[in-house]
Chains A and B, each alone.
Chain A
Amino acid sequence: MLRSILLKASVQYANLTNPTRQVVAYPKQLLHQSYNLKRAFATHSPEKNTPETEGEDNSQEEFGNELKYNMNLGMYPDKNISSLTINGKSYLDLPIVHIKSSSNNTIISVTEVKGKVIAIDSGGSVGFRNVKKGTNIAAQAAALSVSQKILERGIKIVRVNMKGIGPGRNPALKGLQMAGIQVVSVTDSTPIPFNGNRPRKPRRL
Chain B
Amino acid sequence: MSRNHVRMIAKTVFVKNNNVDAAANVLDGILRKDKILDNIRRNRYYEKPYLKRQRLSFERCKRIYNTDMQKKIAFVMRKNREDPWPR
B residues sitting closer than 8 Å to A (CB atoms) are: 3, 6-9, 11-16, 18, 20-21, 23-24, 26-27, 31, 36-37, 39-41, 43-47
Contact = CB atoms under 8 A, between A and B. Distances in A.
A65 B15 CA distance: 13
Nearest to B9: A77
23 contacts: A65-B18, A73-B16, A75-B26, A76-B12, A76-B13, A77-B9, A77-B12, A81-B6, A82-B6, A115-B3, A159-B8, A161-B8, A177-B20, A185-B8, A185-B13, A186-B13, A186-B23, A187-B8, A188-B31, A199-B43, A199-B46, A202-B46, A202-B47
B14 A73 contact: yes
A201 B45 contact: yes
A198 B15 contact: no
Q: Which 10 pairs from chain A and chain B are nearest by CB?
A: A202-B45, A187-B12, A187-B8, A188-B11, A199-B46, A186-B23, A183-B20, A185-B14, A73-B14, A177-B20
Interface in A149-192: 159, 161, 165, 170, 173-174, 176-177, 182-190, 192
